[in-house]
Amino acid sequence: MTLLTFVPSSYALGNPNIVEYVDGIPNYWPPGVAVDDILETKGNINELIVAFWTESVPIGGSAAEWIRGENGAFGNTEVAVQRFHDAGITVLIGAGGANEAPVTDNPEDGRRYGEAVGQFALDYNFDGVDFDIENFAVGRPDTTSEWLAEATRAVKAVYPGAIVTHAPQAPYFQKTENPNASYGYLELNEKAGDLIDSYNIQFYNQGNTAYDTYEQLFLNSGLDAPETSVKQIHENGVPLEKIIIGKPISEDDVFNTGYIPPETIAEFISQGISDGLEPGGVMGWQWKSDYDMQQQGEEAWSEVVSSPWGLNSLAAKSVSIPKGYDKYIVKPAETVICPRNKRATWDLTGGAGTKGGFDLSLDHGAHLKATVVDSTSLPDFVFEGDWEHYLEFTNTGNTDWDLDCLSAS
């Protein structure tokens, strides 16, 4: 095995949160089928949010199936969570949703709400809680933020190891200089931001502020919901790594505006990374739409939107390099043979009686040269680092080769 190490050049910094909410599910029987369905179509998802736990109305959505345990679509919850963990996925319970309005003027109510959902998360083996709190009064940022802060603190008091996230609509980050349009999330970030792992921000269903252009989503949200783009929220105190861009997965998942195709989301994120505005990840509402589209042969939504980070969960594939082919270029946009920005193990296999040589190189200069005589294969070799743009293969011999990605991590 030959190891090649070189300096990464990508602007992308790290491991994004790729989040999808699970509300509807396609199948309910036999027990555990929902876990099977999710894992078979998981793409690059690394965080699931089961929707929704509610206090004032009956628990609905996939959460209602979750609590059925061994008789439900998720089966035994301890087993379900372990299966998700084995696949690299954390699982949170979503609290609230559009059907509940729990916020009051009394912070004690927030504490009680947080304790209840925190205990629920513990009892049902979740990794933490996502607060999707809506339907609260505009223009009362102090009381709203205190209620939310108390709820956040209460979860951590009951469940110290819990992941805690929030899912505010983007306009909830407006500043208090406009009290008639302030919902208190900047104040919450000041009061309890150290306890909040990330914000799954809903950049959709906001009427004229559609967040459907790069300008409006990343740079300047405009006059109707001022200072609620990625850049502006960050400049007002929220770390970029905590800003998760939330978008509907399909057009059916949005009530009015905000839907954009996953390829466009990826383009905007790539531009944001280039502009020094790398978000902490992407959130999609909702997983069942991703599942349905994959059943129609479409690529997993999570794989498309996460492509700026070089993630790829597709199975290893091979590329044939015909004899005499000069500079076969494998571009990241068109290949799934190995993920970008990863350590990858490759294999080259030639036909019987192989003679000649090859030069496999990266666009940043690292390369592997070898000459093979009367052999059908080479030892496995590793490229470690970033191949942001392309691989280049020059076949100088008289045989055909197959280039395979054996593994990546």
Nearest to 247 by CA among 201, 206, 303, 291: 201
Residue 34 neighbours by CB under 8 Å, 6+ apart: 22, 25, 27, 28, 62, 65, 72, 73, 74
DSSP conformational letter for 215: I
Residue 303 and residue 262 in contact, taking contact as beta carbons nearer than 8 Å: no
Dist. CA 238–CA 225, nearest whole Å: 17
Q: In what order do the strands lie in the sheet with 328-330?
A: 328-330, 391-395, 355-362, 367-373
- Angle value at C-alpha 172, between 166 and 175, nearest 5 degrees: 125
Per-residue pLDDT tens over the stretch 289-343: 999 999 999 999 999 999 888 765 333 345 555 554 444 444 433 333 454 444 5
pLDDT (0 to 100) of residue 326: 43
pLDDT 10s digits, 192-241: 999 999 999 999 999 999 999 999 999 999 998 999 999 999 999 999 99
Secondary structure element (H or E) that encloses residue 93, with its range: strand 90-96
Alpha-carbon distance 66 to 192, whole Å?
29
Tokens, residue 398: 């008289």
Dihedral angle, C-alpha 178, 183, 186, 192, nearest 10 °: 150
Domains of the chain: 2-8+314-408 (2.60.120), 17-309 (3.20.20.80)
d(CA 100, CA 256): 20
Residue numbers of the chain with a pLDDT score lower than 70: 1-14, 178-180, 182, 311-409
**Mean pLDDT across the chain, nearest whole number?**
82
pLDDT at 381: 47
> What is the C-alpha end-to-end distance of the chain, expressed in Å?
17
| Predicted structure pTM score | 0.76
